[in-house]
Amino acid sequence: MPANTRISTLSTIFNIFVLLSKITILFLKSLVGLSTYDRREKAPVCKDKTELYEQVIAARDFSEIVSASGYRAREHVVTTRDGYLLVVHKLEKKNCFTLTTRPKAVVYLHHGLLTNSELWVLGSTKQKTLPYLLVDAGYDVYLGNNRGNKYSRKHLNLSASDPSFWDFSLDEFSYFDIPDTIEYIRKLYEYKERAGITGPSSNNAVSGDGSLKPPSFSSSSTTLSSYETQDPIDIVYVGFSQGCSQLIASLSLYPELNSKIKLFIGLSPAIIPSNLNHPVFKLIVNQTAADNRFLYSIFGRRAIMPSVSFWSTIFGAKLYERVVDKSLSLLFGWTGENISQDQKRMGYPHMFSNSSVKSLVHWFQIIKAERFQMFDETCSCGLTKLSSLSGKSKEKGNRVTPFPIADHLNVPMYMFYGDADILVDIEKTRTLIVDGNPLMRDKLKVELCRSYEHMDTLWGSCVYEDVFEKILKELDNFDGVSSS
């Protein structure tokens, strides 16, 4: 909070009330002999299925979630060129130490809209948790986070209470978050190889006084300007939903990035979604696309869903599960039939996270325009009222900048989608990627998962056989080609 921010008298009274309430609870616990010690700090790896569920549901963060299944997380912080600090989790086996041998490859996983890195590690079994399978198979696994979510609410100059902090959308996710995170990982392995920490290289980067000299990270206006011609490590990108569109947009904005990603695997790739299911929500999408101010007037210009963790706690697991199921049914027409009750019980409490209202506005614009485009900053602003009366006259006055993917993609892609998922139009996606781009005609492979909805490519009852097993085989084939 900035030093000059004024605090209201009502806020002071509320804070004093909360403090007194907590003191009273502590006093009452001491009277009846209840311990206030938090046993989660030293909780052992659980063997019983029910115990696992309870530990994951009660977990406070990514580290506690993976610890319950015998893994551990190392935290990295990526500083983007525009000053946001993004937490990236590296997943490892708890009882293993970092090896000096080079890994098969780095697999980087990125979440979707209104979620965070926890989404990937909420499978009710190991067979439903892709990062665990990847770590066990010998890959170095990193899980990223977008600016503004639970793990990335820090900026070098802005407070999260400042509306300017939340002035971002898919544009910034793609222009900064993805390229800067990939750059960080590449530089990390470049540093490790120079230092002899990993890989076959023994040429350590040492300064004149014998101390280790790490490579300098790029501070220029272009993330890719400092890239070297030879990658220190192969990077495989796995995206879910918006995590797919972010990479595709980044590849279009930075053509050089295509040579840095060796393989892209997309789960439920949301590029140009269909409109929402319920007529009222369709109306909201259309109205928002016509005028940015509509959604801002309802939710403000900061975070969307800022109190989701509060409501998930207050409702309890069963009621919250019903609320989420009903919401997903109204919004998207999903039944959730392919996801077990156990999976919902474990996944729903950690499913959602903050993003900006602007990022939601951006997706409503894409849905209405049926076009993979950058954020429409103008809408009715900068245009006369007469020129904004119709869509045709408005487009004549302003044509929104597209993500220019038609000529800029050159990465092998393997996509999984369900035919019951309104957020994925695979024909539009295929046309967007392949048409007019001969480089991609033999590099795009698409896998249909029948009766799958959006979340099923992560949590479906048969997700191992239908998705994860095929990904592992594809990575084995890729690893064989890379090493040959």
Give the catalytic positions in this structure.
241, 421, 454
**Which residue type, as a one-letter code, is found at position 101?**
T
Residue 305 CA to residue 356 CA, distance in Å, equals: 9
Tell me how many degrees the CA angle 182-230-262 measures, rounded to the nearest 5.
50
Backbone φ and ψ of 50, nearest 5°: -65, -40
Contacts of 484 (CB under 8 A, 6+ apart): none
Helix (H) or strand (E) holding 282: helix 279-290
Residue 261 CA to residue 224 CA, distance in Å, equals: 13
- 134-167 burial by CB neighbour count: b if 16+ within 10 A, else e? bbeeebbbbbbbbbbbbbbbbbeebebeeeebbe
- Name the pairing type of β-strands 355-356 and 235-240: unpaired
Tell me how many degrees the CA angle 276-281-284 measures, rounded to the nearest 5.
115
Under 8 Å between Cβ of 168 and 148: yes
Backbone φ and ψ of 380, nearest 5°: -85, -10
DSSP result, 382-412? TS-TTTTSSHHHHHHH--PPB---TTT--S-
Residue 181 CA to residue 87 CA, distance in Å, equals: 10
Strand partners, 435: none
Token pair recorded at residue 352: 């959602």
Under 8 Å between Cβ of 161 and 71: no
Strand partners, 106: 140, 235
What's the count of helices (H) and strands (E) in the chain, helices before strands? 18, 11
Write out the E strands in 94-211.
106-110, 140-143, 154-155
Report the Cα 322 to chain-centroid distance in Å: 24
